[in-house]
A and B are shown apart, each in its own frame.
Chain A
Amino acid sequence: MNPVLEVKNLSVIYKTDMETVYAVNDISFSLEKGKTLGLVGETGAGKTTTALSILGLLPERTGQITSGRIVFEDAVLNELSRRELERIRGHRISMIFQDPMTALNPVLTVGDQIAEALELHNEEHLNKWAIEKKVEETLEMVGIPKERKNEYPHQFSGGMRQRVVIAIALVCNPGLLIADEPTTALDVTIQAQILTMICDLQRKYGTSVIMITHDLGVVAETCDQVAIVYAGEIVEYGSLLDIFGGGSHHPYTEGLFGSIPSLTGHAKRLQPIEGLLPDPTDLPAGCKFSPRCKYCTQLCRQKQPPIREQNGHQIRCHYTPDSRTITADAGTARKEDLE
């Protein structure tokens, strides 16, 4: 089966006069029709940058794709002209933004904003009346009474606004939906509703979804494939079972799971991953995770690790769980960094 979206060796930098930020480094993944891919990682790991480069929305003067191809259905997105991209955006690929409080235009009614994408991509030549009807249908679909279409965003609560944002994203039945932390700004009960809704709509229309999040609970709930992103690289990639099941993992993934409180076990102290993401303007030479890795060796700090693959489960590490040991190196590496 042909993938809907294929990203190959994508690298993105943000370049200013002062410095160059290496935001995404050589990321590859593919996504099949109707499936969900989770991009998981810390804040600043490059998840959103990946999403923005798929849509061609990187900041014009600073953001820049240095290498790689983004293939969507039959088009190479990063080689299209602005006009051609505008035709695809909102129509065949759409995006749900992180913060519903700021993602809606405060001076247009929600109905007008939902109609916007329809009017822009009006390939079926719908008339005004048909567009209105479609807007009402879409509102009802996301659980907002259609009478509210003439209200302004400030008259909605956060959860309701996120529904509006989702309605805008889905009104043209896109083939690919990019959800950039769609539930981060919402409280837990609303989170569940929104996620269930996205999944239901996805099943109904066969939409492929890229779910960007740092919440492993959300991933477990929604995704088929998972990519763990660290410092602009995918350090581990596999099916939901590969990542959440036992088996072997990248030390970073283990660290992530170690930072989640367990509901069943005894209350222990959490084990956070020490340190911070490396400075993206000055990435470590070898493995990007080496300064924080407790298994770090000389080799890790000098050489970029290869990808080891087993039944589609990829791990970017020099060692397997059997061949690595906790080293004293890790501590010194951190200290050197601090100095």
Chain B
Amino acid sequence: MAKTKKKLSMNGEIWYRFRKNKAAMIGLVILIFILLIVIFADLIVPYSKCIDQVGRDRLQRPSLKHFFGTDELGRDLFARVIHGSRYSLFIGVATSLMALVVGAVLGASAGYFGGVVDNIICRIIDVFICVPPILMSLAVVAALGTNLKNLIIAITISCIPGNVRLVRSVVMTVSEQDYIRAAKSYGTSNFRIILRYVLPNAMGPIIVNTTMSISDMILSAAGLSFIGMGIQPPAPEWGALLSAAQKFMFKSPYLLFFPGIFILLTSLAFNLVGDGLTDALDPKLKD
């Protein structure tokens, strides 16, 4: 008898359930499309094209020569949006990952050890949580100066408290499980238990939260750039493009439209994928 109905592995099963979710698949397709743009930006249009200022081409409407039109300095908006994807996505992914790592370390220690460790970490986090995230980022950027590195640090810091709390709560439930006690009975050390037993089992909600937060991160980077505290010109970040476009909002609305639609699509895609992952990773929804 042929082994046609082989049992799916854990990942296979998750992928199967994810695939059945149409919205999530649409999100994934958009995401792959945007990733391709990021990877092949230089092949699509050379970087020089998005900083070259062509005086006679200022504020052109979209045409075959300039797909998305040009800005007030005669730079090709299509090239700027394409290359801007690199900045925006890099900021989104980098900040989310950094916040994830810091959040995982602090949250896991707090949740697993509890007691004094938990108290110290949570009280510090409470202080951070009192300040609204955008204000926190602003303060950090204002203190450190405006450039890409500081922008990433600022957004990461504003995102850490939420992550710590999330990881802590998930880790606390996982730590109660029998297999953690069983692991202790094999003589496993605490460090190894956290790495091999607690975190992998807490991963579901954490992955979902991270994919969801990438879109938030892109938006807050765009927000900071919009008020001039983010990426500095002439670098083409999507939020910075929006910020520059506001002066010509009525005369040349396409300047707002194209970067805006890309920000929207990217956050939408990440949110859809995150949503899909929530469902796919939740064993209770198995059918």
Contact = CB atoms under 8 A, between A and B. Distances in A.
B53 interface: no
Contacts of B201: 105-107
A97 B186 contact: no
Main secondary structure of the interface of B (DSSP, over half): helix
B185 A116 contact: no
Given A107-B201, A152-B9, A154-B10, A91 B187 contact: yes
B3 to A, nearest CB: 12
Main secondary structure of the interface of A (DSSP, over half): loop
A210 to B, nearest CB: 13
Contact of A105 (B7, B9, B179, B203): B179
Interface string A150-174: 0110110000000001001000000
B186 A168 contact: yes
Contact of A57 (B7, B114, B179, B181): B181
Interface in A57-89: 57, 60-61, 85-89
B114 A104 contact: no
Interface string B112-146: 00110000000000000000000000000000000
Contact of A121 (B187, B192, B197): B187
Contacts of B43: none
A116 B115 CA distance: 28
Contacts of B189: 86
A108 interface: yes
Given A107-B201, A152-B9, A154-B10, A102 B187 contact: no
Given A152-B9, A154-B10, A155-B7, A104 B179 contact: yes
Nearest to B113: A60
Nearest to B185: A95
Contacts of B7: 151, 155
Contact of A120 (B10, B177, B182, B188): B188
Contacts of A220: none
A99 interface: yes
Contacts of A154: 10
Nearest to B190: A82
A49 to B, nearest CB: 13
B183 interface: yes
B287 interface: no
B185 A94 contact: yes
B10 A152 contact: yes
A103 interface: yes
A99 B178 contact: yes
Contacts of A60: 115
Interface in B193-216: 196-197, 200-201, 203
A280 interface: no
Contacts of A139: none
B202 to A, nearest CB: 10
Given A105-B201, A107-B10, A107-B201, A88 B187 contact: yes
A117 interface: yes
A94 B179 CA distance: 14
Interface of A: 55, 57, 60-61, 85-91, 94-95, 97-99, 102-108, 116-117, 120-121, 151-152, 154-155, 165, 168
18 contacts: A55-B185, A86-B189, A94-B185, A97-B185, A103-B179, A103-B182, A104-B179, A104-B182, A105-B201, A106-B10, A106-B179, A106-B201, A107-B200, A116-B186, A120-B192, A121-B187, A152-B10, A155-B7
Interface of B: 7, 9-10, 114-115, 177-179, 181-189, 192, 196-197, 200-201, 203
